[in-house]
Structure 1
């Protein structure tokens, strides 16, 4: 039923493999280091590291890993360690269906999901850009409001300066009014003094004249008049 060669390859004692590994340690390490893959993260069959294949290649040849895998699977199935009951075939059928679905429907679903992802990403991107635009506009509006606030402060300073100038003008106007009123009152007092002096002078002159006129007798007046006529006659003679 099963290949004897496969069974023998699987049931080979582990001690023989250990002896072969020890005997080939010196040269095998050099070969392994020389043939070590440049990319240690590379895998085969989706989950087996490349280093394992290289190790088996160096120890058993190129067909060693595949022979080991087939022999191990044959051993597990022949010894009924892995029992193939109805669930195994159900799982095998489901695996085949899954593979077929992935192969047939995978590209279509992948394209649809890619489109959905692109659409969602574009929506998020557009929303983010719109939010950034709104934030930028808000920043510009805030800067404009700050500029307006600075202008309001300048306007307030200008109003304060204008009020100070108005107060200065009112102060100067009132000071001029005070000067005018004081000067007018002083001029009035000076004029009063002048009038009083003129009146006193006129009264004194009249008093003196009246007293002088009152002290002159008619005889003295006649003598004075005659003397004046004589003086005028003498002056007339001299003038001739």
Structure 2
């Protein structure tokens, strides 16, 4: 009893480990499914049949050994053997089944293609409904990725705008600095011009005062006799000059 429990627990652990390994191997490190090595399951389609219910594989099996007529010969021979040996008894139920089989065959040939087309359409609609949610999820995720890329692009544009604003602020600071430097230059120049003009005015006033003082002192130093002699000498010089002409 204990050995059975131990074997069952070991088998459960092994199956769990196998499922975990398969799940881990089906997805890579990033969590994305490995579609190449582990493709998604695809809905299987029914194989080809003959006579409405006999699989095509049975005919292929006989074709490699008996040729084309082998499956039909085997079917007819088997039916003949069953009926001749009364293994299959043809009682009244047989004819009822035969009539039902004929009706089923007629219904399958008459309404079978339409019913198959309708069923295929329903299966496709159900599959499309199942896939629509997946496609919508994929579309929403793709839109989210595109929105994220757009947001990143806009964020890069914001960085460029911030850099441009910084450059604009630096240019404004440089313009304000140059304006204040010009104001300081003009103020210093105005004061220097004032000092120069003041010095020029003082020099002119000193020169005028000096000239007036010298003229007044010279005038005071000249006596009336000296003034008369100078006047006579001037008249004589004028007369001499006039006589020469």
Q: TM-score, normalised by structure 1?
A: 0.52
Q: Distance in 2 between matches of 1:124 and 1:157?
A: 50
> What is aligned with 1:183?
189
Q: For 1:1-240, what aligned pairs fall within 5 Å after superposition?
A: 118-239=124-245
Q: Structure 2: any 5+ residue segments left out of the alignment?
A: 1-57, 59-103, 105-111
| Higher radius of gyration, 1 or 2 | 1
Pairwise CA distance, 1:114: 7.3
Q: Distance in 1 between matches of 2:238 and 2:244?
A: 10
Q: Distance in 2 between matches of 1:119 and 1:144?
A: 36
Q: Deviations over 1:193-240 (max 9, x none)?
A: 00000000000001000110000000000000000000000000111x
Pairwise CA distance, 1:122: 2.2
**Displacement over 6 Å in runs of 4+:** 111-116
> What is aligned with 1:19?
none
Q: Deviations over 1:87-115 (max 9, x none)?
A: xxxxxxxxxxxxxxxx9xxx9xxx79977
Q: Whose relative contact order is higher, 1 or 2, with alpha carbons under 8 Å and at least 6 apart?
A: 1
Q: Structure 1: any 5+ residue segments left out of the alignment?
A: 1-43, 45-102
Q: Distance in 1 between matches of 2:188 and 2:228?
A: 58
Q: How many residues align?
A: 148
